[in-house]
């Protein structure tokens, strides 16, 4: 407070001494920064709840992936065994992502219908390719939630990986 009084007295003396001048002196105001606490509200993130009725395409994709897995999870000749394992592993990873997101359609993911035993390997692989393509179409519908888009990206990556492995198995079977 004393410094303000001294400063004001200094300005008055200066003003009195230059009172004969006709110029106007403007003194800039000094701003003082005052920190005040501001109330902040923090909301806990809302748990993401999946309702399979709102996401029917994931249930269809899971069914298609299960059928493709059943077609590919059979030991075959050596050139295609590794490709089959690669494709089955990628399908398992996609199913695991879907299962962890709690969007199962009420079925056991490992209860798979038996494949048609009369198919030769290339027919079986082509049918698995069609199922993988359908699963990709079902799983790639537009999502609004960023968490779901991230999950969807991982699922689509696994499906694409299984698709590449199945194409490689077809190429190896035709050699």
Place of tokens 């698709």: 163
User: Please, which pLDDT band fits residue 148 given cuts at 50, 70 and 90?
Assistant: confident
Structure tokens at 103: 């969007």
User: What pLDDT was estimated at residue 162?
Assistant: 93
Retrieve residue 91's tokens: 């399908």
**Predicted structure pTM score:** 0.58
**Eight-class DSSP state of 46:** P
Q: Choose between 148 and 35: higher pLDDT.
A: 148
Which tens digits make up the pLDDT trace of 43-70?
A: 555 444 545 445 567 777 888 888 888 8
Burial category of 114 from C-beta neighbours within 10 Å (exposed 0-12, middle 13-18, buried 19 and up)? exposed
Q: Which of 4-13, 90-99, 121-130 has the lowest mean pLDDT?
A: 4-13
Q: Is 64 exposed, middle or buried (0-12, 13-18, 19+ CB in 10 A)?
A: buried
Question: 106 vs 102, 139, 173, CA distance in Å?
Answer: 10, 18, 36
């Amino acid at each position: 407070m004393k410094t303000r009084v001294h400063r004001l007295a200094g300005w008055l003396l200066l003003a009195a001494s230059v009172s004969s001048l006709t110029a106007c002196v403007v003194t800039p105001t000094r701003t003082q920064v005052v920190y005040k606490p501001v109330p902040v509200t923090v909301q806990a993130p809302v748990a993401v709840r999946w309702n399979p009725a709102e996401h029917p395409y994931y249930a269809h994709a899971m069914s298609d992936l299960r059928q493709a897995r059943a077609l590919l999870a059979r030991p075959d000749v050596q050139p295609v065994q590794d490709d089959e394992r690669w494709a089955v592993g990628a399908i398992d990873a996609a199913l695991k992502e879907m299962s962890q997101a709690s969007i199962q359609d009420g079925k056991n993911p490992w209860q798979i219908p038996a494949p048609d035993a009369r198919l030769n390997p290339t027919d079986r692989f082509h049918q698995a390719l069609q199922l993988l393509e359908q699963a990709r179409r079902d799983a790639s519908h537009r999502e609004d939630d960023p968490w779901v888009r991230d999950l969807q990206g991982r699922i689509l990556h696994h499906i694409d990986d299984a698709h590449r492995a199945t194409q490689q198995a077809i190429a190896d079977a035709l050699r």
